[in-house]
Every structure is written in C-alpha cells, then in structure tokens.
Amino acid sequence: METTSQAVAQAPAAEGGQQVPSARRTVDGYLLAPFPWYGLDEAFTGPRWLMQVGTAADGAVEHGSIGHGDEPSVRNEASEDKEKFAVVVTVAANPSRRSADGTGLLEATSVSSAAWLAGVGLLSFTWPGSMDHSLRDDWLDQQTETAWALADDLDGSDWSTLSLPVDGVPTSFHYRESEFGWVLAGSTPEGVHVGAYGRGMSAYGLGFAMIKDIGEYA
C-alpha cells in the first residue's frame, strides 16, 4: 500500500537515551477522510489523542491512528514496564485503482494493510534493551520486513483469532503477540479495516467503536 506519510508519529530517541515526545497532530487531515474513524469504545475512560494520517499517492487520506492511554516513547529498559497504551489504526477499504494523473495504479487496501501498519507502528516505539544506537536502523529495517511478511500471511501459525466487539457486535480479529507488545487487525461492517497495537494494556478486554466527532480530539 503506497502512502506518502508515516502511519504513526515517530518518537526518536535523543542522545543519552532520553525520549523526544511525539508531536500532537492537528485534526485537519482526519476531517478530510471520506470514511469513519475508529477508536476504543466508551469502556476506555483514559486519555485519547490524535497521531497522524497517511495519504495515497493521489493525496487522498487513506489511513490514520488514534492513541489511547500513555503517549508511547521508544521502548527502553527504564520504561518498558510502565507504559500502558493502545493505538487504533483505521484504513479505508479501497480497491485497486488508477492514480489521479492516470500514470499508474494505486494498490488495494485490505486487512493485511491494517496488520502491517499496526505492526510497523509498534516497531516505531520499540528499542530492544542494550541495543547500540548505530544498530537500531538495521534492526528496524529487518523487523519492518518481518512485519510485512507476517501481515501478508494472516492465516499463518504466527496469528491466532480473537473476538472483540466493534460497535457492540462481536467481530473476529487476527491477533499476535511479541516481546514488544501485541498487534491485531480485522474489518468492520462500515467498510473500513481496523488495526491496533499496544503495550502494557491487554488486548483481550478491548472494544472498538466509530468515533462520532473526530473534532473533539483536537
């Protein structure tokens, strides 16, 4: 799936291991989306915050992320057991189509798109303990390729099935865990795909709901 921006806000580490907080995103891009946004349902009463939208090559908003709980930093040994967050990624269900200028094809989106964006999102806030700064880029490239391969094989043994409510209706999700957190992905009756990732907050008790007014997050 081609996009011109990242699915999530990156939070790079500063020298000395201190984390640079991710910038709060404006609501403007979210308001341009022709599809509904999803977040955790009303059972979650903690903080909610905008992250970032992603656009296709023709400029159309194609996906975006909503954060819940603690704003995550890149994981290190000092914070790995303290952060509790879940990020919900909404992806428009688009068929393969020609670009606006007619010069190429835009890839179709699918549940695998949501799974990949969620997997990469978790990696963007992950830094294995004791890893040297100079090695993280190589590690991240390798893990990103692994996340793509996993997302492309949702029926594989690395995934299990988890039923969670979406707008109150039990819905089947593909689910996997790693030492860095968890990732899940599925589809909604409203014609969008939903991915999610988190750490320190169990996925088993979560529910998802359409956001009635994304402007309230501004």
In the predicted model, what is the mean pLDDT of residues 39-57?
A: 92
Q: Note the pLDDT tens digit of each residue in 88-102.
A: 999 998 765 545 555
Report if residue 8 sits inside a domain: no
Domain limits at 211? 15-217
pTM of the model: 0.81
Report if residue 95 sits inside a domain: yes
Distance CA 203, CA 189 (A): 20
Percent of the chain whose pLDDT exceeds 90 = 52
Report if residue 6 sits inside a domain: no
Distance CA 119, CA 105 (A): 25
Tell me how many domains the chain contains.
1
Tokens of 35: 């599809």
Report if residue 10 sits inside a domain: no
CB 45 within 8 A of CB 37: no
74 vs 201, residue with greater confidence: 201
Report if residue 190 sits inside a domain: yes
Match 């014609």 to its residue by tokens: 191
Report if residue 4 sits inside a domain: no
Report if residue 1 sits inside a domain: no
> Of the given ranges (97-106, 112-121, 124-133, 173-182), which has the lowest mean pLDDT?
97-106
In the predicted model, what is the mean pLDDT of residues 141-153?
A: 87
